[in-house]
A and B are shown apart, each in its own frame.
Chain A
Amino acid sequence: MMRSRLGSLVRGGRGAPLVAVLALAALAACEREHRDFATAAPGGSAESIVRTSALQAGPPTPDLDARLYTENRWAVSEGQRLYSWYNCAGCHSPGGGGGMGPPHTDDLWVYGSAPENIYQSIVQGRPHGMPAYTGRLSSSDVWKLVAYVRSLGGLTPFDTWSPRAEMMEEGVVDTRGTGPAMADSSLIPPEQRAPGQP
């Protein structure tokens, strides 16, 4: 009954303002492009320590940066720019398909795929070639890189993926979001799997 009344309202043309107001209200949900330059200010060069577990001594400190950047379209596209600026592509290949370094497009994350894990991998470095960027990057830039790297693996919402540049290069296949179909995690020995990985 509710539905038919709404339907007649719209059909009668009187519902147009209502629809317009609802559409305007829906815009409030659009935060995928939120840019807040000022909140990036406290930065300084990236510290090597980031909380990767809920367990913590003392009162819990909120991890603002991670949430601010990792699910945000602007942060993802900024991360894409930094990915080429700092030559991440030199080892991981443009588009993150992997080369000397491991790919970012599958679901095999030796050191974990959570934003904090990837932050650690960038800042502290990893064995067999990944350099440590402690002090070399500002923490906001590291979080932007984290956002981009996660988008390559389809780990961020679809509407945050960057459609630009590298994906259009010849020979680069857009594999984002294909996730588990890309690789079989049973290929990794159990002791090398990230915590929580099946």
Chain B
Amino acid sequence: MIQRLPQSALDPAGPAAERIAALWDFAFWTAAVVYVVVIAALLYAAFHRKRPAAVPVVDRDPRTERRLLVAVSGATAATVVILLVFFVVDLGVTGAVANPAAMHEHSTVSRARHEAPAGALRVKVTGYQWWWKIEYLDSVPSRRVTTANELVVPVGRPVAIDFESGDVIHSFWVPALHGKRDLVPGRTTRLTIEAARPGVYRGECAEFCGHQHAKMALHVVAQPADEFAVWYEAQLAPASVPADSLRRAGMHVFLGKPCAMCHNIAGLPASGQVAPDLTHLASRRTIAAGILPNTKGHLAGWILDPQRIKPGAKMPPNGLSPDELEAILAFLGGLR
């Protein structure tokens, strides 16, 4: 239904993910060598008999004792050395990929600001049942952008993310870019991601968070810096009252029905803050937290009865007449 998008830690698209993938490769190939050696030793022991079968059950020959001692000590030493190497390499990778700020999750916000990499784009991601609120922070309030479920980032620039949760524990995981980071109610966690090449990278909530945990996806869209700047400027623009009559009718449906109680559309008197911001809904690829393509038909089905698509989702079903539905779809389709 949805185009398959890269969601694999084995296909890294950022510096942190590359280190993690290299760690995986190292552990995999080391384990593969150990496996081959162990199996070879086992086969050798099973098929290479020097003595006749009539050997006493307990062999008291001191030469056998000595050989056993050498073999067991050698295997134990090799195991300890390999585990130590794993431990040191793992510490090294963990230290390298961790955002320094992540080590101080209890620190104050101002301190965390200082610890974000220089020139980083600052974003706040808040997890809700079952979608992601994404806010681009800026010291100028009018230059902040709010969107949902689609994190657009410039290629080659670090993105310092502050994570918070609006309800239960979630976990942010875009395998192609970085490891997991939990979103814990009542505290702020941090992670700095960076995409090395343009593309769309899929992620999912990685901590069970209720009925629709499995349908809580997000996409990271990495664009070249100039395209990102264009996108950002477009997102800053508020919506205005549509000129054509069908869309205007749709706006009145939106404002007069339960929609406006929860959703925000900048520029219009719809300022609910508890559901995804719809100011630029039509510019997003998916709806319902990355589970449906953003087409007119899917949007219609979602508006009429979200409970059939995501049972338990916080959006109630909406009984709309065909005329109202047609109008509201035209209106939402115009929110670019």
A interface, CB within 8 angstroms of B: 35, 37-38, 40-45, 81, 85-86, 135-138, 140-141
Inter-chain contacts of B307 with A (CB < 8 A): 37-38, 40-41
Closest A residue to B185 using CB positions: A165
Inter-chain contacts of A37 with B (CB < 8 A): 307, 311-312
Q: Are B317 and A138 in contact (CB under 8 A)?
A: yes
Q: Are B311 and A45 in contact (CB under 8 A)?
A: no
Q: Does B274 contact A (CB under 8 A)?
A: yes
Q: A137-B258, A140-B317 are in contact. List 7 more A-B contacts (CB 8 A).
A: A37-B307, A37-B311, A40-B316, A135-B258, A136-B260, A136-B261, A138-B316
Chain A nearest CB, measured from B186 CB (Å): 11
Q: Are B261 and A41 in contact (CB under 8 A)?
A: no
Chain A nearest CB, measured from B327 CB (Å): 16
Measured in the bound complex, the distance between the Cα atoms of B306 and A38 in whole Å is 10
Number of interface residues of B (CB under 8 A): 18
B310-329 interface code vs A (CB 8 A; 1 in, 0 out): 01101011111000000000
Measured in the bound complex, the distance between the Cα atoms of B318 and A138 in whole Å is 7
Q: Does B267 contact A (CB under 8 A)?
A: no
Inter-chain contacts of B257 with A (CB < 8 A): 45, 135-136
Closest A residue to B260 using CB positions: A136
Q: Are B305 and A41 in contact (CB under 8 A)?
A: yes
Chain A nearest CB, measured from B14 CB (Å): 36
Closest B residue to A133 using CB positions: B261
Q: Which of A43, A85, A136, A137 is in CB contact (< 8 Å) with B274? A: A85
Sample (11) of A-B pairs whose CB atoms are under 8 Å apart: A38-B307, A38-B308, A43-B318, A44-B318, A44-B320, A45-B318, A85-B261, A135-B256, A135-B258, A141-B258, A141-B316
Q: Which of A41, A85, A135, A136 is in CB contact (< 8 Å) with B317? A: A41
Of all A-B residue pairs in the complex, the 7 with the closest CB atoms, nearest first, are A44-B319, A138-B316, A37-B311, A43-B317, A37-B307, A85-B274, A41-B317
Closest B residue to A78 using CB positions: B314
Q: Are B261 and A43 in contact (CB under 8 A)?
A: no
Measured in the bound complex, the distance between the Cα atoms of B256 and A37 in whole Å is 25
Measured in the bound complex, the distance between the Cα atoms of B261 and A35 in whole Å is 24
B interface, CB within 8 angstroms of A: 256-258, 260-262, 274, 305, 307-308, 311-312, 314, 316-320
Inter-chain contacts of B316 with A (CB < 8 A): 40, 43, 138, 140-141
Chain B nearest CB, measured from A166 CB (Å): 14
Closest A residue to B257 using CB positions: A45
Q: Are B318 and A86 in contact (CB under 8 A)?
A: no
Inter-chain contacts of A140 with B (CB < 8 A): 316-317
Measured in the bound complex, the distance between the Cα atoms of B261 and A135 in whole Å is 10
Chain B nearest CB, measured from A192 CB (Å): 31
Inter-chain contacts of B261 with A (CB < 8 A): 85-86, 136-137
Chain A nearest CB, measured from B277 CB (Å): 15
Chain A nearest CB, measured from B290 CB (Å): 20
Inter-chain contacts of B274 with A (CB < 8 A): 85
Chain B nearest CB, measured from A90 CB (Å): 13
Inter-chain contacts of A35 with B (CB < 8 A): 312
Inter-chain contacts of B305 with A (CB < 8 A): 41
Inter-chain contacts of A43 with B (CB < 8 A): 316-319
Inter-chain contacts of B311 with A (CB < 8 A): 37-38
Measured in the bound complex, the distance between the Cα atoms of B314 and A41 in whole Å is 13
Measured in the bound complex, the distance between the Cα atoms of B271 and A86 in whole Å is 11
Q: Are B258 and A136 in contact (CB under 8 A)?
A: yes
Closest A residue to B321 using CB positions: A44
Chain A nearest CB, measured from B31 CB (Å): 45
Q: Are A45 and B262 in contact (CB under 8 A)?
A: no
Inter-chain contacts of A137 with B (CB < 8 A): 258, 261
